[in-house]
Amino acid sequence: MNGIGAHEVVIEGPDHTKDLADLSVEHLTQVLTAYRERVMDLHRDRRLRYVLIFKNHGAKAGATLEHTHTQLIATPIIPKILQEELDGSRRYFELKERCVFCDIVQQETAETNGRRMVLQSDRYVAIEPFAPRFPFETWILPRRHVDSYQSVSDPDEMAEFAGVLKETLTRLNRALERPPYNFVIHTAPVAEGELEYYHWHLEIMPQLTRVAGFEIGSGFYINPTPPEDAAQYLREVAVET
Q: Catalytic site residues?
A: 69
DSSP classification of residue 54:
E
Query: How far is it, in rounded angstroms, from Cα 159 to Cα 205?
Result: 22
* CB atoms inside a 10 Å sphere around CB 214: 11
Helix axes of 227-235 and 155-176: crossing angle, nearest 10 degrees: 100
Name, in order, each residue with C-beta under 8 angstroms of 127's C-beta and a sequence gap of 6 or more. Answer: 104, 108, 116, 117, 118, 138, 139, 141, 231
CA 197 to chain centre: 18
- Helices (runs of H) and strands (runs of E) counted in the chain: 6, 8
Cα angle: 155, vertex 159, 160; to 5 degrees:
120
Strand partners, 182: 56, 205
